[in-house]
Amino acid sequence: MHVCLVALLAVRAAAALQPPSLQRAPLGRQRHVRFADEAPPDAAEAAADAPAEPPAEEKVDAMTYVFGKPGELQGDMARMGTSPRRLALFGLLGLFIALAGDLFRLTSTLLRIAPGGVQDAARRARLDTYYPIGDFKRYIDDEYGFEVRYPEMWLADQAIYVSRMQARTGAGAVDAEALLRSRKQKGPAALAGFGPPGGGKFENLSVFRSPVMAGLKLRNLGTPTEFAQRLLDTAVAPPESGKKTTLLAATERADGSYAFEYCLQLPQRRDGVEGRILHNLAVASVRGGDELFTLTVLCGEEDWRDREALFRQVAASFRVYGPLCYEAWGPESMRVLKVCCQKTICQACDVQMEIRGQDLCPFCRAEPMSPADELAKLEHWAAKDSAAAVCQLGSCYRRGDLGLEIDSPRAVALYERAVELGDAKAVVHLGLMLADGDGCPRDEARAAALFDALSKTKGPWAPWAENALGRLATDPFVAAGHWRQAAEDGFSIAMANLGMLYEGRFSYAKAFPTDLAAAKMWYQAAAEHGREDAAFNLQRLRAATTSKGRMTHAFRAFEGLLAA
């Protein structure tokens, strides 16, 4: 009994030590049922041991071969923790960084081979200050108001930059008056310099600014040849310097600046060798009557033939802009709307730019447009509800500008829209047209309401509104109050109106006391603000109050009483 039990335990232990694949179910639990569709055990084992047949090759196109079947690529990326959208975003970001950083000169190459229209648009966007377009990059100095192009491989003179920053820091960066005083310093000051890498002692570009006496014009210094020769003899190569100069050419550019070409021979060296000869191109321009800007680009005479075409383009690109008239913006200062960028410029500055041939927009550097293009651009901005553009378009219809026919009703409608958009200038124009019945029924009450609301804003157009209220007033004392308020704000038309009121020139103001002394005072003030009619009235009034003219004035006054 015990022997049988030990034998059974040994069999169990041996079965437990066998691998699972060789273990069999207990004999008591094996089922000996076989279905008809089951293969015999020997046949199944034979089928399992038989070599598998190779699957048939599936033909796929190139796209499926690279990206897989629909959904397969997304599935693979999902298992990697990414997505096609993320890859596309990172790809675009990498492309943007490459273009912005000019990686492998990619951006420079694209701008070089781009069509002319694309290059012009890039220049208007000032992209050429970062990337070369053609063979040049551009330097724009917004502080002093000038620009110049320079060869793309040249580098800026960092010593000049550091010097300017130190001067600005010493003057006090937050003190505008101190900065202005620093600009009035004596002697020329270097504003910019460029040269080839590794130093350019005998091949470089420089821009200097010098304060000059107020009211100076280049033509006051003589012809271009006379000016250039005087500059060479006094500043470039004075007699004691040992330098020699030869003036080759001198001309006046369309913008009024002088351009000249000369050769400069340096002093003899200590070893007796003759000094090097440098070929120079220079441009001199006066701005505002008290600032002289000079550009000089030079190289060795032996290199001039290879550099000539490049340097002449550099000299031709030099432009001085910025404040041109230095007139204070008073209440009557006219603003000119630049349609290209919707910014305004002083009318006097705009005239000076036209005289000097500076046809680019001082703000966005856009090229001048034809009347048709300007009208299309103005209508484009007006369609976007630009208040200034809508008002300007109304003025074009009112005056017949840009090839339009005069259409007063259309002008009134546009002024109405501009007023709704909050344009103060349109309020003045609309009020005047309502008061005169120009293009609309006469409505002095509404005009007065518009002017009254505008006068309370105390903005730049408030004096215009005060003057218009004085014009609409039927009571001379009320009119005098409005005109006096406008005159105190510097409005010269109101000053002239007060002069005529005190002289008794208005027929409806007979109840207003005549005061010739006050009339002279207001005429004088208006004349000092540039009113030619007030200056004429002042001279007439002074002549009338002389010993001989006083009698004539009395007779005219008596004739006026008889006529009344």
Per-residue pLDDT tens over the stretch 223-258: 999 999 999 999 899 988 889 999 999 999 877 889
pTM of the full structure: 0.53
**pLDDT-based confidence at 21, cuts 50/70/90?**
very low
pLDDT digits (tens, 9 = 90+) for 521-544: 999 999 988 889 999 999 998 888
List alpha helices for 26-171, DSSP H: 41-49, 62-67, 72-80, 84-100, 106-113, 116-124, 158-171
Domain 150-173+181-320 is found in CATH 3.40.50.1010: no
The strand pair at 189-195 and 335-338 is best described as unpaired
How many CA atoms does the CB half-sphere of 327 hold within 13 Å? 18
CATH code of the region 369-472: 1.25.40.10
What is the reported pLDDT for 58? 64
**pLDDT-based confidence at 62, cuts 50/70/90?**
confident
- Give dist(CA 362, CA 365) in Å, integer: 6
Higher pLDDT among residues 87 and 560, named by residue: 87
- 541-560 b/e with 16+ CB inside 10 Å = b? beebeeeeeeeebeeeeeee
Q: Count H helices, E strands: the chain?
A: 23, 12
Higher pLDDT among residues 464 and 99, named by residue: 464
What is the reported pLDDT for 34? 47
Indicate whether 31 pLDDT > 60: no
Please, are residues 271 and 255 in contact by the beta-carbon 8 Å criterion?
no
Examine domains 150-173+181-320 and 369-472 and report if their fold is the same. no
Q: What is the mean pLDDT of residues 383-396?
A: 94
What percentage of the chain carries pLDDT values higher than 90?
A: 46
In what order do the strands lie in the sheet containing 277-287?
A: 155-156, 189-195, 204-211, 291-300, 277-287, 258-265, 244-252
Q: Give CA angle at 394 (486, 429), nearest 5°.
A: 20
pLDDT digits (tens, 9 = 90+) for 203-215: 999 999 988 876 6
The structural domains of the chain, with segments of one domain joined by +, span: 92-134, 150-173+181-320, 369-472, 474-564
